[in-house]
Amino acid sequence: MIATVTLNPAIDKSVTVRGFEMGKTNRGEVTRVDAGGKGINVAKALILWGAPVCALGLLAGSNGRFILDALSAQGIPADFVNVPGETRVNLKIHDAEKGTETELNEPGFRVSAEHLQELRRKIEAQAPQCEVMVFSGSLPPDVPETIFADLIRVAKFHGAKCFLDTAGPGLKLGLAAGPFLIKPNRDEVKDLLKTPLQSRKDLVEAARALITLGSGQVLISLGAEGAIGVAGNDALFAAPPAIKVRSSVGAGDTMVAAMAYSAVEKLPFREAFRMAVAASAATVALEGSKVADLAAVQELLPQVILEDAVG
């Protein structure tokens, strides 16, 4: 089984406004309301691909119940710790006239040490059944930045391969616990290592530095340019197939889901990496937060160009 852990889920609300103006009253139309949060997105992709998955994490209030209902409607088993307060709302304001996208993300609920302890126990209970545990997304305010490192140690002790997809101190400290895989994007790596990342050589060196800091495998995603994948003796660059871009929402999450799927299927790193790039491209070609199904992913597999990153 694969478990996903989301500490700071969100309701993603998309609003369309024509001629959005700062500091004014804007009238818009709600176009979508989705259960969001990175781990939840990963779980959605995995269930669509037929992989056994369970969504774990923290939830609160009526928005939390909305998320649980959405997961249940999609057939995703869930095991969340209910905390006081309310699950945050992330508002995306799409201006159809100017073609801009403005985001307003709430920080999230406050979490007590007792509730974190309860989450730790749930992870301890689930980990023995899990081949992979995916830890992704931001941390709610005041949650110790060592939380991912702590939870990864617990899950690893019970034999789960841990994936970590987060930014900032959560990533830096999480690395020390030795995750199986991390998937930062270029900005997240820059932020962490403070090194220039112009050439492929820079990127491979950065990935190797992240391996030295504790990760087994490193994928650095480069948006439309593709991705760098480094593991063992492989240092690869993948160029994605040319697709018509519809929405890049969840591109990174789909990539992480594909690596988890491939780990359970015991695919070699090259093939897993190829699938990750095909799956994220296929998802970018779909509207909104829709994830590409396996048939669409398979169709793109042969179009991913894999090469040695430093030839």
Ligand X SMILES: Nc1ncnc2c1ncn2[C@@H]1O[C@H](COP(=O)(O)OP(=O)(O)OP(=O)(O)O)[C@@H](O)[C@H]1O
Q: Considering the complex, what minimum distance in angstroms separates the CB of residue 105 from Mg ion?
A: 14
Dist. CA 127–CA 105, nearest whole Å = 31
Q: Which residues bind ligand X (CB under 6 A)?
A: 185, 221-224, 226-227, 240, 243, 245, 248, 250-253, 255, 277, 280-281, 284
Active site residues per annotation: 253
Q: Considering the complex, what minimum distance in angstroms separates the CB of residue 186 from Mg ion?
A: 10
Dist. CA 198–CA 35, nearest whole Å = 36
Task: Give the three-state DSSP class for 152.
Answer: helix
Q: Which is nearer to Mg ion, 38 or 122 (CB)?
A: 38
Closest residue to ligand X, judged by C-beta, is 252
Q: At what angle do helices 251-264 and 269-284 cross, to 10 degrees?
A: 150
Dist. CA 121–CA 154, nearest whole Å = 9
Dist. CA 139–CA 134, nearest whole Å = 14
Closest residue to Mg ion, judged by C-beta, is 252
Q: Which is nearer to ligand X, 218 or 281 (CB)?
A: 281
HEC sequence for 104-137: EECCCCCCCHHHHHHHHHHHHHHHHHCCEEEEEC
Q: Considering the complex, what minimum distance in angstroms separates the CB of residue 252 from Mg ion?
A: 3
Query: Which residues are CB-neighbours of 86 under 8 A, at least 6 positions away?
Result: 60, 61, 62, 63, 64, 109
Q: Considering the complex, what minimum distance in angstroms separates the CB of residue 201 from ligand X?
A: 18
Partner from Mg ion, ligand X, none contacting 9, C-beta within 5 to 8 A by type: none
Q: Considering the complex, what minimum distance in angstroms separates the CB of residue 143 from ligand X?
A: 19
Describe the strand order of the beta sheet including 227-231 as a list of residue ranges: 78-83, 53-60, 2-6, 132-136, 161-165, 181-182, 217-221, 227-231, 234-239, 305-308
| CB distance 30 to 14 below 8 Å | yes
| CB distance 162 to 135 below 8 Å | yes
Q: Which is nearer to ligand X, 126 or 185 (CB)?
A: 185
Q: Which is nearer to Mg ion, 64 or 137 (CB)?
A: 137
Q: Which is nearer to Mg ion, 179 or 252 (CB)?
A: 252
Dist. CA 16–CA 27, nearest whole Å = 9
Partner from Mg ion, ligand X, none contacting 139, C-beta within 5 to 8 A by type: none
**Does 252 participate in binding Mg ion (rule CB under 5 A)?**
yes
**Per-residue string for binding with Mg ion, 183-222, x by CB under 5 A?**
----------------------------------------
Site residues (CB under 5 A) for Mg ion? Answer: 252
